[in-house]
Amino acid sequence: MTFRNPAPTVDLIIEMADQPHRPILLIERKNPPHGWALPGGFVDYGEKVEAAALREALEEISLPVELIEQFYVYSDPSRDPRQHTLSVVFIATAVGLPKAADDAQKVGIFDLWELPQLLCFDHRQILQDYLQYRYYQRRPCPRA
């Protein structure tokens, strides 16, 4: 019997701790699906999700980050058009000047009230949940 499981991924909500209002970093993706996204990617076999988050941040924005907390897990089978994934989302901080690398063609710094129109995957929902959490200290409810 063959089992099919979702692929584990990580995404990072990275607050720029050295800038007013602590804006967040987004990357413009080089590869399909195109658009803006949270930095992140697939967890390698044998890798902890925390290590994957640190690695993906360094690979995509060329900055080390500090993981603050695990935010939430998103697992809607339609969240990624390529395949069924589940993402462990982390809140992190960074300082310095980010530089696009790896799967990122650009890095942008955005205030939460001025996000780009085209966000990939379910990242708009993740950021709406984060906005509620950041300003109202309420955890998002799981969506069944």
Predicted confidence (pLDDT) per residue in 39-98, tens digit: 999 999 999 999 999 999 999 999 999 999 999 999 999 999 999 999 999 999 999 999
Domain parsing of the chain, residue ranges = 7-136
Q: Are the CB atoms for 94 and 64 separated by under 8 Å?
A: yes
In DSSP terms, 70 is beta-bridged to 90
In DSSP terms, 92 is beta-bridged to 14, 67
Residue carrying structure tokens 């994957």: 52
Q: Provide the CATH topology of domain 7-136.
A: Nucleoside Triphosphate Pyrophosphohydrolase (3.90.79)
- pTM value is 0.93
**What tokens does 136 get?**
């109202």
